[in-house]
Amino acid sequence: MLDFLVSILLLVGSFFIVVGAFGLVRLPDFFMRLHGQTKSTTLGVGSFLLASVVHTVDGGFTLQELLIALFLFITAPVSAFLLGQVGLQRHVPSRAPLPEDFPGLRHEPMDLPSRARPASHPGD
């Protein structure tokens, strides 16, 4: 019975992670693809952790799964936020019109080289 529950949870988790990967391929622009990452780390990983809790429940109850979920929920928003910041500052193509007048954002696209140039030394 427990194995059955574990299998169901693993299948549900896999489904949501596959959907997240699917979104990465199907969605047309950078900002929409960002949503895939937050998706798979919440319900997908959440179901996996729940499956792990159920699987180990007769061999002594551990709370480490809860900590994994906690650390994920602390770190995932930060990485999504930073990626989004870069996208906004560099004006990557977006289907939703980019906010032109939001305070604190650059108003022209940054002119960055696609590869880092070797730094020039002041002594040269």
Partner 1 sequence: MTKLCPFPMLSMALAGTWLMLAGFSLPHLVLGSLFAIMIPFVIAPLLGVLPGVRSVIGAMRLTGHVMWDIIVANITVARLVLGPVSRLRPAFVEVPLTATHPYAISLFMSMISITPGSIPLALSPDARTLLVHVLHVEDEEVFVSNVKERYERPLMEILEC
Residue partners of 100: CB distance under 8 A and separation at least 6:
107
Q: What is the 3-state secondary structure (H, E, C) of 47-111?
A: HHHHHHHHHCHHHCCCCHHHHHHHHHHHHHHHHHHHHHHHHHHCCCCCCCCCCCCCCCCCCCCCC
Q: How far is the CB of 28 from partner 1 (least distance, A)?
A: 7
CB-based contact 65:50 (threshold 8 Å): yes
Kindly tell me which of 25 and 119 has the beta carbon lying closer to partner 1: 25
Our finding on whether 53 is near partner 1 (CB under 8 A) is no
Binding mask 85-104 for partner 1 (x = CB under 8 A): x-xx-----xxxxxx--xxx
Residue 123, phi then psi, degrees to nearest 5: -80, -15
Binding mask 61-80 for partner 1 (x = CB under 8 A): -xxx-xx-----xx-xx--x
Q: Which residues bind partner 1 (CB under 8 A)?
A: 15-16, 19, 22-23, 26-29, 31-32, 34-36, 38-39, 41-43, 46, 62-64, 66-67, 73-74, 76-77, 80-81, 84-85, 87-88, 94-99, 102-105
